[in-house]
Chain A
Amino acid sequence: MIRFDNVTYVYPTGVKALNGISVEIGRGELVALMGENGAGKTTFIKHLNGLLKPTTGSVYVNGKDTRTLSVAQLSRIVGIMFQNTDDMFFLPTVEEEVAFSLRNLGFSEEVVQRRVDWALKFMELEKYRKRSPFLLSGGEKKRLALAIILAWNPQVIAMDEPTVGQDNAQKEKLKEMIKQLNLQGRSVIISTHDVEFVAELRPRVILMSRGRIVADGRAEAILTDGELLSSCSILMPQVAATVSRLADLGFNTKVISVEDAIRSIVDGLRRLEHTRGA
């Protein structure tokens, strides 16, 4: 679906933001791109729809080199939600915002209406159709940005720091939406340093530092590796940080969810009781 082949990207200022990135992301994968500010996450995402083209190396989307396609062509395959969604709205109502890009992409008016209805319903924004986007709350604006992208039905959805500035309830909702989009067979890529959010989503984690990929694997493996995380200035999620303190008692420490942690601790304590009883 997406392939980075030894990609290096140097900004005109001379900053090398990506440094030899090679990675593949398959259809229907859920991926969290993690790393501290400046690790190269946003630069990576901008390569997905050709907003940036590699300085050296190549990015392939559905087998095609992004240098051979326009941003508009790539955007039909990869929809990107940027961090600052406020900047993207400019029309008087929510429904017009969603319809705008569909009309630009040349869909018939009947299809536009159907897709607007579907996207607003999916993002739970129907009741705001006639409202100005600027009157929405922060969480609603994020959902509108996502509705706009969803309306074109891209196969890949990428989100840059979707949880920043979102409260608990908004994050819960976002998590459910990401899971649903992924269940519908879309590849979903989120860039984030929100470890608690990633621990709940349990995706494949690609860990970046200074323009390089330093680890790539299941969330359970990466988010429980304290040494690796701290080398990238990332804290362990609280569940893993807590259970890792009890490693000497023989507990299973490769856990990142509350449920798994409870099982690990209860099993561990029972085992200790049993050993003592015997």
Chain B
Amino acid sequence: MEIVKVEGLTFTYSGSDIPALSNIDLSIEDGEFVLLLGPSGCGKSTLCRCLNGLIPHFYAGKIDGRVIVAGMDVSKTPTYVLSQHVGMVFQNPENQLFSLTVENDVAFALENLGIPRDEIRRRVDFALKAVGIEDLSKRSPFELSGGQQQKVAIASILALMPRLMVLDEPTSSLDPVSAKSIIDTIFKIKKELGTTVIVAEHRVELLADKVDRVIVMQKGSIIMDGDPREIFASEEVMPYGVPVPKVVSMAKGVNKHLKVFNDVPLSPEEFERGIRGFVHDKVR
């Protein structure tokens, strides 16, 4: 089933002459894990904002085309209704947190929706556990590290049990270990709950072997859309400055000398398997 359907979407921020998105057509299936790539200013954040209704409800501008999420026309649905189906995590978690304790922050949206108390308790516990921060529940969000804050932001979205999670550069301000932990958490949630995930992120090394699909944007348009292995292996991505995992470049380089890899590997584990397979078949 289709959870996101975008048709002929063009959006121009008010005060700008150039459309931030031009004529986007996109269809995303329930349960897909999609990586959105492209240079700063290519329209990734704008597309994310169109999926959760921040555009057109909060950002002024000229919009054409249609965005349907979970069967609802975004432009005709109030954001408080949309927010029950689409959870959004921003680059800067601090902007999202405001309560005195972590668990209050995670419970906030649920309380607003009038969900019964014991159901709230259950969901908050579930969300804190899912991102691995049960021990922080009584702490103030503002005394946490950037990585912990980002996990609180994700937990507060998870508690809503949305069908779709949209994450706009969720690890941009994090150190590599925290970034890896966030990405692993998102992947685990996707696998266990079947949540559809759309993530805009530059750290391809952490995501290449986990996502089902890669969409490359450039100047407000989608220029490539497909299987991560095909996209990263393709020579076409080079001129667009798309980051390619190092293992892909290594495998291509090795193949020029010895035919080791049939498919490009997307992780160190896959690379190792390729080399050991070659050693087993051809060398010993």
Contact = CB atoms under 8 A, between A and B. Distances in A.
Interface centre among A164, A261, A270 (most CB of B within 10 A): A261
Nearest to A37: B175
Nearest to A169: B241
A72 interface: no
B258 A269 contact: yes
A23 interface: no
Interface stretch (B52-60, B68-76, B242-250): B242-250
Contacts of B246: 196, 237-239, 242, 258, 261
Nearest to B203: A196
Interface in A222-254: 233-235, 237-239, 241-242, 245-246, 249
Interface residues of A, number: 40
By Cβ-Cβ distance, the 4 closest A-B pairs, closest first, are A262-B253, A169-B241, A242-B268, A168-B243
A67 to B, nearest CB: 32
The B interface, classified by DSSP as helix, strand, loop or mixed, is: helix
29 contacts: A38-B145, A137-B41, A164-B173, A165-B172, A165-B173, A166-B40, A167-B39, A168-B39, A168-B202, A169-B39, A169-B241, A172-B241, A196-B205, A196-B246, A233-B175, A234-B175, A235-B177, A235-B180, A239-B250, A245-B269, A246-B275, A249-B279, A258-B249, A261-B250, A262-B254, A262-B257, A269-B260, A272-B279, A272-B283
B283 A269 contact: yes
Interface residues of B, number: 37
Contacts of A168: 39, 202, 241-243
Interface of A: 36-38, 137-139, 164-170, 172, 193-196, 233-235, 237-239, 241-242, 245-246, 249, 258-259, 261-262, 265-266, 269-270, 272-273, 276
Contacts of B275: 246, 249, 265, 269
B257 A266 contact: yes
Contacts of B205: 196, 238
Contact of A245 (B173, B249, B250, B268): B268
A131 to B, nearest CB: 15
Contacts of A273: 282-283
B172 A234 contact: no
A138 B172 CA distance: 13
B176 interface: yes
B152 to A, nearest CB: 16
Contacts of A194: 176
Most A-side CB within 10 Å, residue of B91, B145, B250: B250
B176 A195 contact: yes
Given A139-B40, A168-B242, 7 more contacts: A36-B177, A165-B91, A195-B176, A235-B176, A242-B268, A259-B253, A269-B258
